Amino acid sequence: MNNDRMEGAWKQMRGKMKQAWGKLTDDDLDVAEGKWDEISGKIQSRYGKSKDEAEKEIQRFRDEYDREVAREASR
């Protein structure tokens, strides 16, 4: 994937992440820049979740996002 497509994919994913976790700010996502451990920490902090809970939520989010992207690509 070229840099433009990667940047576009991250921007699209950021929007979906803000829908899923409305308490995450643009600054939170700017700092994380796709580092899932950073995002997990922000979710733990903002929502009072355990590390395990946050990681499970992220995995569910990523799985659903991947399925959505695959559906769009198959059209």
pLDDT for 23-75, tens place per residue? 999 999 988 887 899 999 999 999 999 999 999 999 999 999 989 888 988 88
Sign, CA torsion 40/43/49/55: negative
Would you say 30 and 42 are in contact if contact means Cβ atoms under 8 Å apart? Answer: no
pTM value is: 0.81
Please state, in angstroms and rounded to a whole number, the distance separating the CA atoms of residues 66 and 12. Answer: 12
Please state, in angstroms and rounded to a whole number, the distance separating the CA atoms of residues 23 and 17. Answer: 10
In this structure, what token pair is assigned to residue 15? 């929007």
Would you say 46 and 40 are in contact if contact means Cβ atoms under 8 Å apart? Answer: no
